Amino acid sequence: MKRVAAIDCGTNSVRLLIADLSADGLADVDRRMEIVRLGEGVDRTGRLAPEALERTFAALRGYANLIQKHTRAGERIPVRVVATSATRDAENRDEFVTGVREIFGVDPEVISGAEEAHLSFTGATRGLGPQVAPEGGPYLVTDIGGGSTEFVVGTDRVEGALSVDIGCVRLTERHLAGDPPDPAEVRAAVADIDAALDRVEAAVPVRRARTLVGLAGSVTTVAGIALGLPAYEPERIHHSRIPAEQVHAVTERLLRMPRAERAAIPVMHPGRVDVIGGGALILDRIVERYGFREVLVSEHDILDGIAWSLG
C-alpha cells in the first residue's frame, strides 16, 4: 500500500486527496475542498489577482499541514499538484508556481486541457460496471469546472478529448450579471455554450457515447437538489442517475432564483451560490444537445486521476 497526495487547483476551488493506493484500488484517507476563486477576473484581465493568489496559498498551507499530519514515521508521501484553466490562461502564472513551490517543495504542473481531460476520465471511469452504468460504454465524461469544461469519450481507453473555455465562473462573469439573470443574459450564455458544444462535436465522437458521466461541483450540486437531499451527502450523490427532465427543471429553477434563495438550498456550498446557474446551464445544454436521457453523477474525478497517476 502506497500513500499519495493529489492536489487540484482549479478556477473556483482547490482540492486535496490523501489516499492509499493498492492492488485493490484507491482508499481515501482525507478528502478536502475549499472554494478560493483563484480564477476571479482572469477571463477579463488575463491575470491572477493578488487577493485570489493569497486565498489560494492560505488553503494550500492548510493542505500541507494535513499531508504532514497523515505522514507515517519513516514515510515520504509523494505529492502532485495540478493547476488547470485559470492558471493556464494567466500571464502571471509564475507567481502561482513560486508560491506553490514554497509551500510543498514541488512545482505545480500547469497541465493542458487534453491532460486535464485524460486525468478526469481515469478518475471517473475506474470502477464503473454494469450495476452502476447499465448502458455501458463508450462513456462521455464531462468535467464542468470554473473556467473550462472537459469532454472525453472512451471505454477502456480515451478515443477523443477536448477542453473548451466554458465554465461556471467564466460563464457567469461573461453573461449572468443579473440577480437573477434576465432572459437576454441567459440567451447569451446559451449561445456561448452551444458554440463550444459545436466545436466539441466536430472534434470528439460524442454521439457514439451511451453513458454521460458528469463530474465536479456544478454537477454534484444539481444532483443533490434533484435528489431533494437535506444536506450535501457525497455517498448518496455518487453514482446517482439524474433524468434529463430533472436536470432541466433544476436548471430553470436556479436561473429564476435570486442569490438569497440559492444560498438557502440545503446542498449549496456558499462558494457556489453565485455561479451555480452557469454550471447547471452547461450541464443542461450538454444533456439536451447530445440527446442523453440521464446523467450518471460521479464524485470521483480529476483528483482521483491525479492520485492514480502516482501509483
Tens-place pLDDT, residues 102-140: 999 999 998 887 888 889 898 999 878 788 888 888 999
Q: What is the mean pLDDT of residues 31-50?
A: 91
Helix (H) or strand (E) holding 241: strand 241-243
Q: Are 153 and 207 in contact (CB under 8 A)?
A: no
What radius of gyration, in Å, describes the C-alpha atoms of the chain? 18
Q: What pLDDT is stored for residue 120 in this prediction?
A: 87
Going by pLDDT thresholds of 50, 70 and 90, the confidence category of residue 311 is confident
Q: What pLDDT is stored for residue 11 in this prediction?
A: 85
> Which one is predicted more confidently, 11 or 58?
58
Mean pLDDT check: name the lowest of 66-75, 125-134, 165-174: 125-134
**Residue count (the chain):** 311
Q: How many CB atoms lie within 10 A of CB 227?
A: 15
- Alpha-carbon distance 56 to 159, whole Å? 34
Q: What pLDDT is stored for residue 232 in this prediction?
A: 95
3-state helix, strand, coil in the chain (%, to 5): 45, 20, 30
> Which one is predicted more confidently, 66 or 117?
66
Mean pLDDT of the chain: 93
Look up the pTM and report it. 0.86
Q: What pLDDT is stored for residue 138 in this prediction?
A: 95
Q: What pLDDT is stored for residue 89 in this prediction?
A: 78
Cis amide prior to 180 (ω within 30 degrees):
yes
Q: What is the mean pLDDT of residues 78-105?
A: 90
Q: What is the mean pLDDT of residues 43-49?
A: 89
Q: Look at the block and give the residue holding cell 439524474.
A: 242
Q: What is the mean pLDDT of residues 64-82?
A: 93
Q: How far apart are the first and last CA of the chain?
A: 10
Torsion of CA 132, 145, 209, 122, to 10 degrees: -60
**pLDDT above 80 (res 85):** no
* % of the chain with per-residue pLDDT over 90: 77
* 169 to 36, 135, 219, 225: CA distances (angstroms): 12, 32, 14, 20
244 contact partners, CB below 8 Å, separation of at least 6: 287, 288, 292, 293, 294, 295
The most confident of the ranges 72-86, 119-133, 271-285 is: 271-285
